[in-house]
Structure 1
Amino acid sequence: MSERTSLVADVLASTQRLPLGVQVWVFLVLMPVNLAALVALGQPLGPLVAALAVGALAINGVVMVLDRGFSLAMALPHVALWVPLLGVVVYLLLGRDDIGAAYAAYLVVLLVVDAVSLWFDVPDAKRWLDGQRDTF
């Protein structure tokens, strides 16, 4: 291996530097709940829900490669895509009568998980915009 470590090694090291609670949240809650939108593509507005939910994760894959690990920049796609996603979810839950019980239950979980994430992401995005560009 050269002096410069591999991208995979850098990302893995960055992941391991995250607090354990953050690792659990990201990999056992946040990612699975948002990726589950792919299962609901056939539901009302399912493609839009999936595009917004999974789109933020996909963009963060690019951010992670560019930053060679986790950074506050990863909050930006969450804010940009999940704020509108929450609006779509609220519309589906309150404004539609063609939502089945299982899909509604998933939407509630998605709403709660992404709202909690945004609680942290909005200040993180501001810190990144204010110049804090370190990688964890």
Structure 2
Amino acid sequence: MSRTNVVSDIWASTLRLPRGVQVWVFVVLMPVNLAALAVLGQPLGPLVAGLAVGALAVNGVVMVLDRGFSLAMALPHVLLWIPLVGVLLYALVAHDGIGGAYAAYLAVLLVVDVVSLWFDVPDAKRWLDGQRDTF
């Protein structure tokens, strides 16, 4: 395929995802993680945003290289969001001065990313075991 069709290929791959996956990714997962950019000024905000948004940014590159969604997209989640879970737990349990709306957001981010990791860890293993198809 020509290079000029990469956007069309990614769009077609997106449409091939089950509807529930599309809703999860575009209505829950991406918005909740991108919202970390709004907490940059909070305690641990730059670290939270770097880990949360970093995985999404790397996946943009993966989508271009694979010309769509693939199991390789689980790898940045595993590599960045497992440490993020630790940061979030620390922030919510042990860090003084984190409360209110910021703590509520961190709790939502924690739940969303743990749910994602529940699927991402097996998907990453499948990719490492050689399953390289694009959806």
> Match of 2:113, as an amino acid?
D
Q: What does residue 69 of structure 1 align with?
A: 68
CA–CA distance in structure 1, aligned partners of residues 22 and 82 of structure 2: 23
CA–CA distance in structure 1, aligned partners of residues 103 and 84 of structure 2: 14
Q: What does residue 36 of structure 1 align with?
A: 35
SS at structure 2 position matched to 1:99 = coil
CA–CA distance in structure 1, aligned partners of residues 95 and 117 of structure 2: 25
- Deviation, 1:127, is 0.1
CA–CA distance in structure 1, aligned partners of residues 79 and 21 of structure 2: 21
Gaps of 5+ in 1: none
Percent identical pairs in the alignment equals: 80
CA–CA distance in structure 1, aligned partners of residues 89 and 24 of structure 2: 23
Deviation per CA, 1:32-81: give whole Å up to 9, x if none.
Answer: 00000000000001000000000000000000000000000000000000
Gaps of 5+ in 2: none
CA–CA distance in structure 2, aligned partners of residues 127 and 100 of structure 1: 39
* TM-score normalised according to structure 2 size: 0.97
Q: What does residue 118 of structure 1 align with?
A: 117
Matched length: 134
Deviation per CA, 1:59-104: give whole Å up to 9, x if none.
Answer: 0000000000000000000000000000000000001120131000
| Alignment RMSD | 0.9
